[in-house]
Structure 1
């Protein structure tokens, strides 16, 4: 496997590149709008030099882009910890430049939170199976549940949420989305208190996540559509602004309708035609038209035939097919291949 610091098309090793070459690559990754705002701050001589380097850059592979983002995100964290909102500023800048999910992935790698001290008592809780952990937590206040699940990967967190009483779920999502960093000592005291309620311990593993709107949105994305919708609807009645913030970070099957044709084509190249047919069985005419209009005529005919012969589709199977398509969309957003935030803004502009 090649070293991820190799830019194979340029023949340059990342470690051998000059700072100016790396900076030029970073600006390219951020995109024209964000790069332009940075270039305006440079002196004329610097501007000319960096622009020249940008023009020389070859196609940047995904691994090479990750290497660039990792270095510049770490530098930005160090430079802004005392000004402009620190990590929040860095995350906001990255999100604008490379998309929400890719920004979160980068920040997870460089954030000081990843270097926090190990908390054995908490790790013991995180190693529990979802159902026993949910049974332990369901008698706790929503704030406590949110703090614990914030340390879990979204998929595991969503499984625990699904085990909780329905009336409790939206309260936990609300607390998770507004969760502030907690002192290690407080987390340790809480974990010790919860551990007193269980009789067994298991091997530890390090915590990996923190709370926030993105954490809540990612967890809801991992749940079935009906449950996630019910939670959001209940939460919206109490806090519309927070609910909208969560929705803005979520990927949904209906979001496909707002994407341009090239983006849709990229997604559908990753999708099995049977999944496409199953997901479109109960879709709106608008979405069905956009999807089928983005593939070849022959492929569209195949999908239509599949739809007509498959009969009724169980809601569970339809949701699973849609989720696989959403996952393909999410991966392309993370890789910087599509920009859902830009599509949403364009859609809002078109409606106004």
Structure 2
């Protein structure tokens, strides 16, 4: 009897799910009943390596279309990975026959997910005032992307010291972690009365972004002199046409990929040489030749309002793309 003939339907289904890969299989798993999932798990446990030719025959039996190249399958291990990434620990435990009730821990919610939602600048200010070892411990508890964003807000010597400590950090006693958590709750998460001020900061930034660069700088200076708090969160959302030079080359390329040459040409009328070059270097050679050719023609009769509108369009596009995660806007203090 062939290997395929000896397989149960649950084993065949498990093989196909593994071949599909985690994203597709994860979506399908949610449509199975618990007893069906349990059968799939048991089937995967008993499943051995399946050659590509046999897998194609199994797929044909289920009348599905799969691409070539699934290769050899380590079914049990991959099924474990799919289940663990698709279901909660409680669901996996229930499927495996663990009837022990889930004990809900009492006490305040974890501070780490809340910290990840804070503005990187705000958390950076707090960590800069702490011992580098404490800062390293805090960052080790956050998602890598959140930690990286916070590190970028710190001065280079502080940043380097924290990274060095992160590399050599060993396990931290639970008692020490609890002390730091309590400090964070008191000094970071409640220092604004427990209110989420990010929405207000976004509203202020949206108003200030309507100003030109000179007016914006003046306004921010006045706010600083007046002693307005929480300006770092506002600064992180500010962006003007003149700030394009502060973006990375990759960010500039992404920004101008969707902006027409007509708007670019109009925005570059009268722009400083350095700013113009940073923009021209981010577009294709063909587009650059077209823009430069237009710029060499007379600008007489072109209203300044049209130029300002073109620049505002580019700045607004940058802000929108940054909010969508395409790139990060530069902080004003980093640009200084």
> TM above 0.5, one fold?
no
TM-score for the superposition, normalised by structure 1 = 0.40
Between structure 1 and structure 2, the one with the greater Rg is: 2
Higher share in helix: 1
Higher relative contact order (CA 8 A, sep 6+): 1
